[in-house]
Amino acid sequence: MSKQQPAPVYLNLFRIRFPVGAVTSIAHRVSGVLLFLALPFFVYLLDLSLRGPDGFAAVIDWFDVRLVRLGSIIIAWSLLHHLFSGVRFLFIDLEAGVQLSQARITAWLVNIAALAATLVYAWCVL
């Protein structure tokens, strides 16, 4: 007689405590996807702004909308986090900061620096 396998367990990702390096890595991927998805919109805005003074004024008017400002803050975080995290991963590829304690410190630094720079941007935009 064969043994009965246990039923699959529901995996709740919100109850799992990820290490800070995993959070930084996941946020790096999420920020990359956000940047990729926002690219067509920003290319359109760049094209519109380069058409002439009227196009530039239209782009400036876009940023008077609160929802666009909020979106720009999210994209700013995405850009800053992706940049800082990418530099961190490049150093890890060069085998600098590979030790567990150093990796944790640099992951915290990336998260805090991206958040701080985003708050400065948000303060300037709002």
Q: Is the pLDDT of residue 88 over 70?
A: yes
pLDDT at 1 > cutoff 60:
no
* Three-state DSSP class for residue 15: coil
| Portion of the chain with pLDDT greater than 70, in percent | 98
Residues whose CB is less than 8 angstroms from the CB of residue 71 and which lie 6 or more positions away in sequence, other chains included: 38
Record the tokens describing residue 41, joined without a space: 């919109």
Instruction: Return the closest-CA partner of residue 121 out of 69, 57, 61.
Output: 69
What's the pLDDT score for residue 10? Answer: 76
Query: What ranges do the domains of the chain cover?
Result: 20-125
CATH of domain 20-125: 1.20.1300.10
